[in-house]
Amino acid sequence: MLEVLIIDDDDIVTLVQGKLLQNCNVCESPLKFKRASEALEYLNSASPENDYLLLLDINMPLMNGWEFLEEIEKLAIKEQIFVYMVTSSIDYNDKEKSKNYSRIVNFIEKPITIKNCDQLKEHKYFKSHFE
């Protein structure tokens, strides 16, 4: 099973992204985390049976996206984790930086669109979950 986690400090973003994933049939009820640390806590005790798709915001207070990615590497289930970096910035440097992280599957700028969802479902990593 593919579990989807939305990690963003902006409530409106998590709401909108959640609704889009629902309506696009990506995930009926994605998990929403306002703090990266909370998401980390969840994944720490998550089932190794599942795959985990993370829609991760970069700019967050306390622990930003990049720091969160470092922490993921310490998890037992790190191999089951796939990350979509989602950012409002149109910063070239961020996009370049993302290439250094093996967990990152894609880098997209907000807002996430239907087209993004459709591509996601066709992606080689997730394809199996939607057949």
Q: Which residues bind another protein (CB under 8 A)?
A: 10, 12-13, 15-17, 19-20, 23, 59, 88-91, 109-114
Minimum distance from residue 15 beta carbon to another protein (Å): 7
CB closer to another protein out of 10 and 38: 10
Minimum distance from residue 50 beta carbon to another protein (Å): 27
Minimum distance from residue 61 beta carbon to another protein (Å): 13
CB under 8 Å, gap of 24 or more: what pairs does 67-75 form? 67/36, 68/7, 68/36, 68/39, 68/40, 69/101, 69/103, 69/104, 71/36, 71/40, 72/40, 72/43, 72/103, 73/103, 75/40, 75/43, 75/44
